[in-house]
Structure 1
Amino acid sequence: MRTSQPQTIYLKDYKVPAFVVDHVDLRFELFEDGARVHSLLSVRRNPESDGTEQNLELDGDSLTLESVQLDGRVLSEGDYDNRGEKLVVSSVPDQFELSVVTWIEPQNNTRLEGLYKSSGMFCTQCEAEGFRCITYFPDRPDVMARFRTRIEADKSSYPILLSNGNDVEKGDLDNGRHYVTWEDPFPKPSYLFALVAGDLVEKTDNFRTMSGRDIDLRMYVEPRNSEKCDHAMDSLKRSMRWDEEVYGREYDLDIFMIVAVDDFNMGAMENKGLNIFNSSCVLASQETATDVAFQRIESIVAHEYFHNWSGNRVTCRDWFQLSLKEGFTVFRDSQFSSDMGSPTVKRIEDAAMLRTAQFAEDSGPMAHPVRPQSYMEISNFYTLTIYEKGCEVVGMIHTLLGEEMFRKGSDLYFERHDGQAVTTDDFVRAMEDASGRDLSQFRLWYEQAGTPELSVQDEFDENNGVYRLTIEQSIPDTPGQTDKKPQHIPFAIGLLGADGKALPLNLSRDEQNAPTERILELTDSAHTFEFHGLEHRPVPSLLRHFSAPVRVQYDWTREQLTFLMSHDGDGFNRWDAGQKLAIDVINSLIENPELAVDGGLVEAYRGLLSDESLDQALVAKMLQLPTEAYLIELSAQPAVQAIHSAREKVLGKLAVDLRDELLACYHRNTVSGEYRVTPEDVARRSLRNTALAWLLHIGDEEARSFALTQYSGADNMTDRMGALRALVGSDFENDRESTLADFYQRFQKDPQVVEQWFSVQAASSRTGSLAQIRQLMEHPAFDWKNPNKIRSVIGAFAGQNLPAFHAEDGSGYQFLAEQICRLDDSNPQIAARLVSPLTRWRKFATVHGQKMKSALETVRDKQGLSRDVYEVVHKSLAG
């Protein structure tokens, strides 16, 4: 087991590996009481190293060493040292073969790293450092080898044996056992190794590539999930075709496989040719998955497939470069999802999550650059900064270069570095070389932590028809970083006239045919831009498309925001104006609860509900009030209960005054016919269920009848869950309890649906009191070994049920600390991720902040604290 006192690892200390491994020959003997792993490594001294290292160091964790041989000679204990987390073989030659046999116990592996068992099947998770839990190896991404893997197991219990690459040999063995051998022709780091053995149903399909090759597509699931594979398989084929058309990337093996696993710390894993998925991220049918789940699955399937090039064929040199593969691939899957659905809605969803959660990360004690300079436990750096902000950084390069030059840059990157482990600098350099653009200053996005803040001021020179816009940028201090340099920021802008039409953006008096939208490139601490030829003061549309991950400060009036809600040609800014207007009204009620809700907000929403000509997908998003989590993030010292009360008051006022419009919206958005996950149908179901929830919020009896009818008659999970969620959020207690009981009775045999049932209760202030949360944790369906169950109850409570979590007495904080301590002994990765809600304790007023700090101290003082939790807690208390 790993030591509890972690050491800090620094990027500046990187050295190339002293030895490289050209080939790995693995043989797994799988048994019920453990697994024996035979590893044969072809090793040679790295010509890029200084050549002074005489000993071979291999990483290992929780392994029982049975034997070591060097070039066929059995080594004695004096020839090697396997104390701690290393196997050190003394005085090795320049080139040799090392044979190692280890014994492991996958059935007892609750950390879900390396090889473990889930629902009776063997499976692996090796990113970031799980392979060392299987056998001794230089477990780092810049050691890339070709793998050949033979798996042996009981044929009746484990008829399906899978690993990376192509299956090249199979057969029967004595005692009812059998074997399959897999060979991967492409070199890969050990974190991309995968193995699965189980009694699984195989679903097959095929895909013909742009060069005419036929690819065998296989999906493996437990028998009870055999009817939930079609959407993932269709998503895979769409992803493969899209990657060919947009990036010119063709799949390279003969087989592509997906396996669904119930117990999984992450969402999915891009292992070469054998993607392993958390069941909740790949299984779907209309009866069991919502529209949101269908869209999420499509996105995740695409993400993992796109990794085949941006992560597998070209991988990261070290874990500091993690965003090299993750940020780029998130950008690619965001492009894909935009093309498959509504680009505006996708941009809204991405920006909303970034501004709520990643901005919070950027301003907290765990703030780090997109390319961190140090870490203690790499598992803690699978963060929104690495993934989502990393995606935004790639997106800004795309904005600055344009579609054509970005494609040339990506082609050059893949061509130049195929089969290599590289850095973010290599990626940016390829973009520079292909486009001719100098991105030297832009690299600061990879180096500086924190969210840039843009202060915008404007003035209108009526006599000369000149509108001046002054933009100043600054970046707040973050742990270990102060006095930051200005960054290169693409700032998209438009100007609207009094009639709502877009105005030409003339940057000089002589400019002709000026565009109505420009990308202003900010590179200094302050810029002033002048727009000429204007007859009247325009209304600015700032940071269109959310063109950079920054905060914008501008003195909006409510009149301007209402105007933009109705007229802005940029869908994202239209939505954002509505959010800003609602935030302004809610904040006024937080400051003075006696105020009435501004009637202007009601009329703005009335216009949205009544105008059937609007993009209904956009309207569905615009009708969603700012979340409590976002309101908390915007507040300097948030008063959670006051925020909750003010938001509830606004929602109640809207629902009462707009009852007729909401009822009309509910009825006209009924979707008939075959269930489809099209942007149009998704928007209509979203609008309908939003209207229902608002009406239930005010106890509308007619809506109650609609909800009960919709729940019982629904032919899809979106409408059934929409009705359930509305009833759970209402004061109709008997209906709420009876519907929750019926829902569980219907779906109790489906773990993924039960997770939804847990989550809808834990996230609600009406069903998620601390006492009720403890009851859910005692429910027979709750499983401490399953990360999804933990997230659906404990995670939903701490992350979504904010009034209960932030109870005045601090009970929510201590409850979370208790669960973190319990999980730390079994699954440190999940425990560390649960600490996040407590890390922002300095943001809150003393009454809450000190209680949050006390909860963190409870965790800190636990005996034998894991490295994962140690790092988060100690940085939080020190930051």
Structure 2
Amino acid sequence: MNTVEPQAIYRKDYQPSAYLIRTTDLSFDLSEDETLVLSKVHYYQNPNLASQERSLFLNGVNLELISILIDGVQPNYQLVDEGLELSDLVDEFTLEITTRIHPEKNTSLNGLYQSSGNFCTQCEAHGFRQITYYLDRPDVLSVFTTHIKANPENYPVLLSNGNLINSKPGEVTWHDPSLKPCYLFALVAGDFALLEDAYTTMSGKEVALKIYVESHNIDKTQFAMDSLKRSFAWDEQRFGLEYDLDIYMIVAVDDFNMGAMENKGLNIFNSTYVLANPDTATDKDFINVEAVIGHEYFHNWTGNRVTCQDWFQLSLKEGLTVFRDQEFTSDLHSRSIKRIEDVNGLRTFQFAEDAGPMKHPVRPESYIEMNNFYTFTVYEKGAEVIRMIHTFLGEAGFQSGMKLYFERHDGQAVTIDDFVAAMSDANDFDFKPFMTWYSQPGTPEVEVKTEYDAQQQIYKATFKQKGEYVYYLPIRYGLMDQQGKEIEQDILVLDQNQKTFEFKDIQDEPIPSWLRGFSAPIKLTSNLKTEQKIFLCEHDTDAFSRWDNAQAL
């Protein structure tokens, strides 16, 4: 038996596409035993490339090709493993492809599939290639128009991305004016109950809010709707970011496979992550629902409006958006409790991942199966890396960097380096030494030893990084006197393998509080005595430090 070994894909091998896409027009004819998909895609040669490549490879998996035309004429093409090759192409053309697919048999739950009588999609990371032949890569963005036909008795609700521009029983057309890659495409067809509301944005535009659920879940949707409105308001107030379409939809189904997905204007959730019954849900359940609703909404800007050049940049959208949803929960509830919970989870799961055989950097250099990189490292450690940038720059500096990032890259597919460059340029801050956090796996280990010179009234703290690499990291700290009064607090920048900090005019030996708020995702050991840790549990002004020292007793 001949088997094809899966090939590794390397970040260093990235090449932009020879052709880009202006518009994507999709027509779906849904039925119980097959679905026909007609795609009309307007391709044009990439103007940023010097080469005049005249061939094109389109991804396609488990598709039956019915017809193919370029500008109305049969083209030169060849079906190959997992795709279709076109040759002898002109600079600009419209490609029409009709495919037959079988969502009712699609057990991969990628692409378009049928489950519990509903049609549903999951296109991140490589699901769209199971719908039609296409440039299934995140750096090719286009404007999508989607037509859906189905039996209105079985599928009265027909949804896709964007704004509804035409509707009659059994037939709809959706148009999304924003540029997006195909991984953000979504389609849902089924029989759903609906909760409706509206939100008026900061510029005065009214956005229709709609949550579609299976009928037995309709009594559990109000908190999700309230959470969605809080998400809109928070992103406007904290980041100055406003929603851009006329409608925002959430679909929650009991057996959606990905948990939650931020498809442009049409989020799809597993019911577990979006529904909460006031009679049975705990406070923690409600906060988790609110956080997930917020996370997927916040992707509208950090992930959708600005997306990833390639999948090695996954933390560009996920690490940043996890940081944003953590801040959302912190601002609305207890910042201290949220931070303790996040650090506890990081140490339990991500530190273990970093110590195991599957450890990898926040930005991997290679992969064989992309779905294996939706990890604690990419998401949670990625969020900690963003948090360190925020710590270095402060809230005002970070927001200046975010503003420049969107000014430069709205409607583009970019890299982690582009994000860091915006932060650097907006603040005149050199982040080059910081990039080790993105390139190296593992949890840095740091040791701190202190000494006090009573005669000189100088307190010294020497930090030493134990590993092979030097990490550029912030140590938030406080020094307290023997009565529990805070002498000083600030941030130390550890940018060397070993560095000694001197604190002058310290009249008595202080008790130090290191790594307040868990300002860097490291393992820190110190020469603090047990009685000093007990003292910090009682007197430290930082809630995380009080909790952390209590765990060490």
AA matched with 2:197: D
Cα-to-partner distance string for 1:630-649 (whole Å, 9 max, x where unaligned): xxxxxxxxxxxxxxxxxxxx
Residue 667 of structure 1 corresponds to which residue in structure 2?
Answer: none
Structural mapping, 1:93-132, within 5 Å: 93-132=90-129
Residue 577 of structure 1, aligned match among 522, 539, 549: 549
Residue 542 of structure 1 corresponds to which residue in structure 2?
Answer: 514
**Does residue 294 in structure 1 map to residue 278 in structure 2?**
no
**Does residue 333 in structure 1 map to residue 325 in structure 2?**
yes
Residue 478 of structure 2, aligned match among 494, 497, 511: 494
Q: State the distance in 1 between where 2:4 and 2:481 align.
A: 62
For the 8 Å contact 1:495–1:502, the answer to whether it is kept is: yes
AA matched with 2:314: L
Residue 335 of structure 2 corresponds to which residue in structure 1?
Answer: 343
Residue 187 of structure 2, aligned match among 184, 187, 195: 195
AA matched with 2:44: R
Cα-to-partner distance string for 1:259-288 (whole Å, 9 max, x where unaligned): 002223322111100011111100111223
AA matched with 1:281: Y
Shift of 1:34: 2.1
Shift of 1:289: 2.3
What is the SS of the residue equivalent to 2:291? helix
Residue 410 of structure 1 corresponds to which residue in structure 2?
Answer: 402
AA matched with 2:484: G
Residue 231 of structure 2 corresponds to which residue in structure 1?
Answer: 239
- The structure that is strand-richer by fraction is 2
Structural mapping, 1:130-169, within 5 Å: 130-169=127-166
Shift of 1:351: 0.7
AA matched with 2:103: P
Shift of 1:345: 0.5
Q: State the distance in 1 between where 2:435 and 2:404 align.
A: 19
Residue 199 of structure 2 corresponds to which residue in structure 1?
Answer: 207
For the 8 Å contact 2:450–2:527, the answer to whether it is kept is: no
Residue 381 of structure 2, aligned match among 364, 389, 396: 389
Q: State the distance in 1 between where 2:16 and 2:463 align.
A: 44
- The structure that is helix-richer by fraction is 1
For the 8 Å contact 1:45–1:51, the answer to whether it is kept is: no
Residue 247 of structure 2, aligned match among 250, 255, 261: 255
Residue 785 of structure 1 corresponds to which residue in structure 2?
Answer: none
Residue 390 of structure 2 corresponds to which residue in structure 1?
Answer: 398
Residue 170 of structure 1 corresponds to which residue in structure 2?
Answer: 167
AA matched with 1:549: P
| Unaligned residue ranges in structure 1 (runs of 5+) | 173-177, 476-482, 504-515, 582-879
**Does residue 566 in structure 1 map to residue 506 in structure 2?**
no
Which one has the largest radius of gyration? 1
AA matched with 1:147: F
| Unaligned residue ranges in structure 2 (runs of 5+) | none
Residue 498 of structure 2 corresponds to which residue in structure 1?
Answer: 526
Shift of 1:6: 1.5
Q: State the distance in 2 between where 1:336 and 1:546 align.
A: 18
Q: State the distance in 1 between where 2:49 and 2:171 align.
A: 39
Shift of 1:49: 2.7
Residue 554 of structure 1 corresponds to which residue in structure 2?
Answer: 526
Runs of 4 or more off by more than 4 Å in structure 1? Answer: none
AA matched with 2:481: G
Structural mapping, 1:458-473, within 5 Å: 458-473=450-465
For the 8 Å contact 1:194–1:271, the answer to whether it is kept is: yes
AA matched with 2:26: L
Higher deviation after alignment, 279-288 or 231-240: 279-288
Cα-to-partner distance string for 1:421-476 (whole Å, 9 max, x where unaligned): 0111111111111111111111221122221111111111122222111001133x
Residue 446 of structure 2 corresponds to which residue in structure 1?
Answer: 454
What is the SS of the residue equivalent to 2:153? coil
AA matched with 1:102: T
Residue 78 of structure 2 corresponds to which residue in structure 1?
Answer: 81
Q: State the distance in 1 between where 2:515 and 2:258 align.
A: 33
AA matched with 2:161: N
What is the SS of the residue equivalent to 1:410? helix
Residue 45 of structure 1 corresponds to which residue in structure 2?
Answer: 45
AA matched with 2:544: F
For the 8 Å contact 1:118–1:261, the answer to whether it is kept is: no
Cα-to-partner distance string for 1:564-613 (whole Å, 9 max, x where unaligned): 111111000100011111xxxxxxxxxxxxxxxxxxxxxxxxxxxxxxxx
Higher deviation after alignment, 362-371 or 189-198: 362-371
Q: State the distance in 2 between where 1:27 and 1:37 align.
A: 6
AA matched with 1:243: D
What is the SS of the residue equivalent to 2:148? strand
Shift of 1:93: 1.4
Q: What value does the CA root-mean-square deviation take over the aligned residues?
A: 1.2
Shift of 1:61: 1.2
TM-score by length of 1: 0.62
Q: State the distance in 1 between where 2:466 and 2:321 align.
A: 29
Q: State the distance in 2 between where 1:364 and 1:65 align.
A: 44
Residue 184 of structure 1 corresponds to which residue in structure 2?
Answer: 176
For the 8 Å contact 2:61–2:82, the answer to whether it is kept is: yes
Q: State the distance in 2 between where 1:244 and 1:534 align.
A: 44
For the 8 Å contact 1:16–1:48, the answer to whether it is kept is: no
**Does residue 305 in structure 1 map to residue 281 in structure 2?**
no
What is the SS of the residue equivalent to 2:552? helix
**Does residue 432 in structure 1 map to residue 432 in structure 2?**
no
For the 8 Å contact 1:112–1:263, the answer to whether it is kept is: no
**Does residue 324 in structure 1 map to residue 316 in structure 2?**
yes
What is the SS of the residue equivalent to 2:507? coil
Residue 605 of structure 1 corresponds to which residue in structure 2?
Answer: none
AA matched with 1:569: T
Cα-to-partner distance string for 1:620-679 (whole Å, 9 max, x where unaligned): xxxxxxxxxxxxxxxxxxxxxxxxxxxxxxxxxxxxxxxxxxxxxxxxxxxxxxxxxxxx
Q: State the distance in 2 between where 1:290 and 1:28 align.
A: 41
AA matched with 2:53: E
Q: State the distance in 1 between where 2:458 and 2:113 align.
A: 67
Shift of 1:376: 0.8
Shift of 1:256: 0.3
Cα-to-partner distance string for 1:717-762 (whole Å, 9 max, x where unaligned): xxxxxxxxxxxxxxxxxxxxxxxxxxxxxxxxxxxxxxxxxxxxxx
What is the SS of the residue equivalent to 1:187? strand
**Does residue 225 in structure 1 map to residue 217 in structure 2?**
yes
Shift of 1:4: 6.4
Cα-to-partner distance string for 1:488-544 (whole Å, 9 max, x where unaligned): 1000111222222212xxxxxxxxxxxx21100010111111122233322211100
What is the SS of the residue equivalent to 1:354? helix
AA matched with 1:227: D
Q: State the distance in 1 between where 2:140 and 2:315 align.
A: 18
Residue 266 of structure 1, aligned match among 247, 258, 264: 258
For the 8 Å contact 1:118–1:262, the answer to whether it is kept is: no
Cα-to-partner distance string for 1:771-812 (whole Å, 9 max, x where unaligned): xxxxxxxxxxxxxxxxxxxxxxxxxxxxxxxxxxxxxxxxxx
What is the SS of the residue equivalent to 1:80? strand
Shift of 1:251: 0.4
AA matched with 1:97: T
Shift of 1:415: 1.1
What is the SS of the residue equivalent to 1:517? strand
For the 8 Å contact 1:29–1:37, the answer to whether it is kept is: yes
Percent identical among aligned pairs is: 54
Q: State the distance in 2 between where 1:240 and 1:29 align.
A: 34
Structural mapping, 1:348-363, within 5 Å: 348-363=340-355
